[in-house]
Amino acid sequence: MRVTSAIARAAGAVDDATRRVTERFERFPPSAVDLALTVMITVATIGPAVLDGRPWLVLVLSAVASVPVLWRRRAPVTVFLVVGPAITALACLHAMPDLPYGTIVCAYTIAAYSPPVRRRGAFVAGAVGILFSLVVPNESPDSYGYAAMSFLTAWALGTGVRARRAQIEMLEERARRLDEERLAALNRERLRIARDMHDIVTHSVGAMIVQAETGPLFTGTDRERADATFASIAETGRVAVQQLRRSLGTLRDDNGDPRHQPGIEAIADLVELSRRGGLTASLDEDGPRRTVSEDVAVTAYRVVQEALTNTMKHARATGVRVSLCWSDQLLTVRVSDDGVGPVRTESGGYGLLGMRERVTGNGGTLRHGPSDNGFDVAAELPLGQWS
């Protein structure tokens, strides 16, 4: 238990030291740090040899054991293979400084920046070099623990820096992905609002125009029917305003649910509105109604809404039939009229593109085109797990 606590405290101390060292040195350019570190190591390695009047071979080995540290970031393993043997040679000549500074810095650098294979090879080579440096000159047993501790401490600090850098990269990647997801969600929401506004405005305004054009025809002859027509115009406008408020709810910081939109149950209102506009409209439903997701329900409603809008505005039809066919896997929505079909204009078409995007976005298929009696629009929407 005491050993476990001691190891935990030591690991915590190494982690704190790693964080402090990293934060301190990250304030300076890497090249400046390497230059300053090389100067300090060179002075600490060559200085004692110069003061003790060591021969030229010791001075050369001391320079080889310290100066290459300047290139430790570019080629850490190569620098280690140069500095390590020089330190070993100094140890065999009984001229090694107080600490193998160059080896310690190289061990830290390899642990922090090198790939796994090179790290493992360098660790084994470092252990062998340290053992050789102690056995050949017949150093005291205390030196073994001293050398091993300095090497392992440097290695642990480098490992901590590598782990911290990997964690930062992971967090940055996660933040980048979250930003991409937010942007994609924002684009989807913008597209949804654009589609909803197109469907709401074109259908409601189209119905109001048709009713406003027919209303005056009954003003002098059928006052009751004229009043009903103008009342229908007002009701259509109120419904359009309500749907616009729901659709644009995500742009306001209120507590409303912007996704709550008309669905399957509101299709009957669309058919009734077409009757008020002068069409002979009917709604048929085949099969038991099933529970569907809100996206599927809204898509079915918008398909009927856009098809009826095209019928009233462009098809010159007198009658329209809306049918809902339920099966185990599909909801088939069909709108058939006896007109000539929608007419594409220079201003950009008739909304079939948006209708197709809605349907395919729910995994369904959309078909439209002339029929024997007029024009058909049919959408097949998969029920999936909601069936």
Three-state SS letters, 272-336: HHHHHCCCEEEEEEECCCCCCCHHHHHHHHHHHHHHHHHHHHHCCCCEEEEEEEECCCEEEEEEE
- Rounded to 10 degrees, the C-alpha dihedral 41/46/48/53 comes to 180
Res. 331: pLDDT tops 90 = yes
| 197 vs 304, residue with greater confidence | 304
pLDDT digit string, tens, across residues 63-106: 888 888 888 888 888 888 888 888 888 878 777 777 788 888 88
Which amino acid does the sequence have at 237?
G
pLDDT at 322: 94
The mean pLDDT value of the chain amounts to 77
The confidence score (pLDDT) of residue 372 equals 80
Q: Is 248 helix (H, G, I), strand (E, B) or coil?
A: coil
Q: Which residues contact 72 (CB under 8 A, 6 or more apart)?
A: 34, 79, 105, 106, 109
Selection from 16-25, 269-278, 357-366, 378-387 with the highest mean pLDDT: 357-366
pLDDT tens for 96-151 read 777 788 888 888 888 888 888 888 887 888 777 777 777 766 666 666 667 778 88
**Residue found under tokens 């994609």:** 184
Mean pLDDT throughout 22-49? 77
pTM of model > 0.85? no
The domain limits of the chain are 2-179, 185-386
Distance CA(96)–CA(101), nearest Å, equals: 10
Residue 258: per-residue pLDDT? 46
Whole-number pLDDT of residue 286: 92
Q: For residue 337, how many other CB atoms are within 10 A of its CB?
A: 29
Looking at the domain that runs over 185-386, which CATH code has it been given?
A: 3.30.565.10
- State whether the Cα torsion 200-205-210-216 is positive or negative: positive
